Amino acid sequence: MAKRDYSMLGPDARRAVETGLAAAEWYHTDVPRKEMKALMQRSDGPAIRDTIILFGAMILFAGVGIALWPSWWSAPFWLAYGVLFGSAMDSRWHECGHGTAFKTRHYNDWMYQIASFCMIRNPVTWRWSHTRHHTDTIIVGRDPEIVFMRPPELARIFANFFGIFDTINGVRRMLLNAAGKIHPEEATWIPETEQPKVIRVARIWLAVYLAVIGLALWMGSILPLMVIGLPRLYGAWHHVLTGLMQHGGLAENVIDHRLNSRTVYLNPISRFIYWNMNYHVEHHMFPMVPYHRLPDLHAAIKHDLPAPNRSFLDAYREMWPAIKRQLLNEDYFLKRELPPTAKPYREDFHVEALGQPAE
């Protein structure tokens, strides 16, 4: 098989369009309309509760961190604050980007702007990139959010546990956009009418960062950056830990989320931070279902999905050997068994797209 080209402008991108993989009709488990309507219903309550807890905890941890600064006793509080800033904001960015977390649109929009800032993801650019991730999930050359490219770039992925490359990219793009330019790849998925908004947001953010850096210089301390900016690095690990499980080691170029996404049962703290995105097959199949109903959706359709992984450890035990094999064999992927109650995978289509799966 030819080497993969993950760029949005390369031969794989063209091939995906030619073969009908791009913008294809995806598999969905049958759910009666009445049941699905109930699952899709929006409410403000759960997200308001979670947001109060989130911001309350952030203020508390940062406050104690500042009070104890520069003693090492402040470290655990910064670590806790960092995870909320650099990881919980990832899932808030995600859910509010879909517009499903709150019922009230403005609440979603406000939270989306705050979370985008924390994650250094331009809210306009990334809204469109995530749209593409849902249209063409893990389709090579079409999905701009593929983390585990083949062969996997492990050094880069490990560095991202500390947000290194994500932050460098985020800052670079912010500077490019603030200079009035759009990256050519981004231009493939952001409509022209939206592009001025990308630039406006980048300029506002740059002003905020310059103010924080100015304050740090004036104080002669990195403390202001411990509150804004650096937590994107020292708090990123949890969102990377959860994010890698979403699609790692699974199939590319298929149109059935059961083949390319993973559901994992997690502890309640991680589920709070991750806003239930551990139900990832369910989220991709039915992105209209808000995060707080995903456990119910899971219960309704699990008969049609591969068995979920039981924990972080279980997921990584499954994923890691596959990732290692992909270092040597780019065509290798995990194809998980479906329960007897499930509708089978569409082998005809997928064998053509993938070659023979390696089991």
Q: Which is nearer to other proteins, 135 or 311 (CB)?
A: 135
Question: According to the binding rule CB under 8 A, does residue 113 interact with other proteins?
Answer: no
Q: Is 343 in the site for other proteins (CB under 8 A)?
A: no
Please answer whether residues 83 and 102 qualify as being in contact, where contact means their C-beta atoms are separated by less than 8 angstroms. Answer: no
* Residue 106 binds other proteins (CB under 8 A): no
| CB 293 to other proteins: min, Å | 12
Give yes or no for residue 288 binding other proteins (CB under 8 A): yes
Residue 303 DSSP label:
G
Q: Is 127 in the site for other proteins (CB under 8 A)?
A: yes
For the stretch 344-351, contacts whose Cβ atoms lie closer than 8 Å and that sit 24 or more positions apart, written own/partner, are: 345/256, 345/258, 345/259, 346/27, 346/255, 346/256, 349/254, 349/255, 350/251, 350/254, 350/256, 350/259
Q: Show contacts with other proteins in window 35-54 (CB under 8 A).
A: 36-37, 40-42
193 binds other proteins (CB under 8 A): yes
Minimum Å gap between C-beta 127 and other proteins is 6
Structural contact between residues 144 and 129, judged by C-beta atoms closer than 8 angstroms = yes
Site for other proteins in 220-239 (CB under 8 A): none
Token pair in block for residue 327: 């270092």
Backbone angle region of 253, left / alpha / beta, with phi > 0 → left and psi within -120 to 50 → alpha = left
Whether the Cβ atoms of residue 49 and residue 56 lie closer than 8 Å to each other: no
* Residue 127, token pair as written in the block: 């809204």
User: Can residue 215 be called a binding residue for other proteins (CB under 8 A)?
Assistant: no
Site string for other proteins, 65-84 (x = CB under 8 A): --------------------
Cite the DSSP H helix spans in 257-341. Answer: 257-260, 268-274, 280-285, 294-301, 312-328
CB of 180 to other proteins, least distance (A): 22
Q: Total binding residues for other proteins by CB under 8 A?
A: 23
Residue 200 interacts with other proteins (CB under 8 A): yes or no: no
Q: Which residues bind other proteins (CB under 8 A)?
A: 23, 33, 36-37, 40-42, 98-100, 103, 105, 127-128, 131, 134-135, 191, 193-194, 286-288
